[in-house]
Amino acid sequence: MPSTFGSLQPASDEDGDGDQITEPRTSGGCNHTPDETLGAPPSSDGNNERLPTMISALSSQVAALSDLIQRPQREEPRKTDIRLRRIEREIKGMKGQILGVHSGISALLATESRGGQPSSTALPLRAAAAAPDASMVYHRVVPSTSTFVPAEAIEPENLTVVLLENDEEFTFDNGRVPVPPNIHFSSDIPRLFREWESSTLLTVNGRGIAIKYWPLFYQRRKQGRSHKNGAWDKIRTVWGNWKFLVEECQRFPSEEDFWARYSTAGVRLRYQQILDALKEARESQEKSDAAAARRFFHDNLDHPDADGAFAYTKTGQRRIKEKDSAVAEIWRELLANNAEIARRDGDDSEPRFPRFTRI
């Protein structure tokens, strides 16, 4: 990686990379301070007396919904499917009631914030849900969630098992995987580092899924079908950029050391600036490693000593990898896994491993 960034300069404005930030920037590390506009509305008239009643009604609906969701776990397995269908019908019936209570609270808050005067421009709840705006009271990313369903209640064709941390087997219904969360980290890279290892932005079968495991739920399966068709194509590039950032941070002893490296005059470089620097370093490393591979095999990547590592078949014909990125990746794998090649290359005393991994 280059030791200097040349013309790269940090900036205090927006990233300019097209990201739409769905959360406000906050101070104090992980301590998120609510916006001051979320304070209690003024108690200027009797309208405040209605607010506790409406909140209580909403809480009752939520409690009832929670009980319905948990009910199948207390039933015998043979009754589970029937209960799930009944719950689905009851949830649909409750949806309108919950929306009505919430809409009433929103209208009351709008009235109170204007000193008790009704507002003709209050944003209806349904419209707010369809078109979130920066002026909305709550600036929060809505996680993508799916509630817990026991393995015995999942249709056999949808039952899927993936390995998570420490080879833990996690079972879920691939037909109930939520759409990927609409989240961007261009203004909050430290949050990306946290969510990469532990996150509830995506919840599958009642469990929060760390960002590093999202491909397990969205990539296309060997059978030719993904858990959420087309979802991986939409997030692959963004997720790959997150991976590059996290892997680079993990090369340093601490996050503070990472930022010391990626700062100029004490000001942190922006999201896209760091990605550009990593891309430049990656391409330089690939070019160097590809040249080393060709030099080792005397410009013949089909050399017998390569044992076909650089070969592949296309349209029935045997071909040899040519792109520096592909050649470099294979060369690093050979150095890591083939002791004889590593010894002959003269670097066997110093472990070699792929620094940049492809997605």
Give the N- to C-terminal CA distance of the chain in Å, as an integer.
Answer: 20
Same domain, yes or no: 211 and 294: no
The pLDDT score that the predictor gives to residue 158 is: 86
Close Cβ partners of 280 (under 8 Å, ≥ 6 residues apart) = 2
Same domain, yes or no: 280 and 179: no
Q: Please count the structural domains in the chain.
A: 3
The pLDDT score that the predictor gives to residue 92 is: 54
The pLDDT score that the predictor gives to residue 196 is: 98
The pLDDT score that the predictor gives to residue 354 is: 43
- The residues that bridge with 320 in the sheet, in sequence order, are 311
Same domain, yes or no: 208 and 176: yes
CA dist., res. 357 & res. 355, Å (int): 6
The CB-side HSE value for 35 (13 A sphere, CA atoms) comes to 12
- The residues that bridge with 172 in the sheet, in sequence order, are 160
Which of 252, 143, 230 lies closest to 195 in space, CA to CA?
A: 143
Residue 200 lies in a domain: yes
* Residue finishing a domain among 200, 228, 261: 261
Same domain, yes or no: 126 and 151: no
The pLDDT score that the predictor gives to residue 151 is: 81
Contact 116, 87 (CB under 8 A): no
The pLDDT score that the predictor gives to residue 264 is: 95
Phi, psi at residue 327, to the nearest 5°? -65, -45
Contact 141, 32 (CB under 8 A): no
The whole domain housing 234 covers: 144-261
pTM of the model: 0.54
CA dist., res. 262 & res. 277, Å (int): 9
Residue 167 lies in a domain: yes
Contact 149, 173 (CB under 8 A): yes
Same domain, yes or no: 246 and 207: yes
Contact 163, 219 (CB under 8 A): no
The pLDDT score that the predictor gives to residue 147 is: 75
Mean pLDDT, consecutive 10-residue stretches, the chain (359 aa), reads 42 41 36 35 45 58 61 56 61 55 56 47 37 36 68 86 91 90 94 96 94 91 55 92 97 97 96 97 95 95 94 95 96 93 71 44
Percent of the chain's residues with pLDDT above 90: 44
Residue 22 lies in a domain: no
What is the length of the chain?
Answer: 359
Contact 286, 324 (CB under 8 A): yes
Same domain, yes or no: 283 and 313: yes
Residue 16 lies in a domain: no
Residue 135 lies in a domain: no
Residue 335 lies in a domain: yes
Residue 96 lies in a domain: yes
Same domain, yes or no: 242 and 168: yes
- Amino acid letter at 49? E
The pLDDT score that the predictor gives to residue 64 is: 60
Same domain, yes or no: 148 and 257: yes
Same domain, yes or no: 80 and 182: no
The pLDDT score that the predictor gives to residue 12 is: 40
Q: Are strands 159-163 and 144-145 parallel, antiparallel or unpaired?
A: unpaired
7 to 34, 148, 197, 276, 277: CA distances (angstroms):
37, 51, 33, 12, 11
Residue 351 lies in a domain: no
Same domain, yes or no: 101 and 168: no
Same domain, yes or no: 239 and 317: no
* Residue finishing a domain among 130, 163, 179: 130
Same domain, yes or no: 325 and 246: no
